[in-house]
Amino acid sequence: MRAFKDYETTPEYTESVKLPAGAYEVTIKRAEDSDNALCILFDISAGEYKNYFMDKFNSDRRNYPENAKFKGVYRLWYPDGSQYAEDSKKRMKTVLKLIKDENKLNVDYSKEWDGAALKGAKIGMIFRDTEYDYNGHHGFTAQPYGVISLEALRTGKYNIPEPKRLKGSSADPSYASVETYADLPTDEDLPF
């Protein structure tokens, strides 16, 4: 067997855990403006998937340092005069009011405010499966869909939306990441 250069410093693939569609308690890390969106950075704060996004980011930084991105981001689009402006305003107000009420924050969103005011706030967040086809990879990933109160999360009073599929797709997210392998022949039958 041959050795290859940089064996000792080459990173290994690590086991990747897929976040299932569902509802989770999240803690907000910070909020910031980016392009035409309010970006709320968060991580799961309880249960089996606690720290999911930070763990994934740290793993990606080790294995793909040039491409690592923190993916626990919920984007609320600022109204921009388009046909969706009213929906953007309603969604943003609904989310910000829920965060304020759930955490008893003293923030006046009708004026300029500091995104640091949301740090540490807890809310429930619903994730739905979203289909992707990117750089030759196809599958489903759980993406933030909406927010709910912690009471609704605890009592199960929420619905998980249907998966968001690519146009024309009928793929099933439950099979998206399952690989099948043909039966291998025994050692005596190997075709070498």
What pLDDT is attached to residue 124?
98
Rounded Cα distance between 130 and 138, Å, is 11
What pLDDT is attached to residue 177?
47
What pLDDT is attached to residue 12?
66
**Which parts of the chain register pLDDT below 70?**
11-15, 174-192
Rounded Cα distance between 26 and 42, Å, is 6
What pLDDT is attached to residue 33?
92
What pLDDT is attached to residue 183?
44
pTM of the model: 0.80
Using alpha carbons only, what angle is made at residue 94 by residues 167 and 140, rounded to the nearest 5 degrees?
A: 30
Two structure tokens written together for 135: 């750089």
Check residue 117 and report its DSSP letter: G
Query: CB–CB of 35/75 below 8 Å?
Result: no
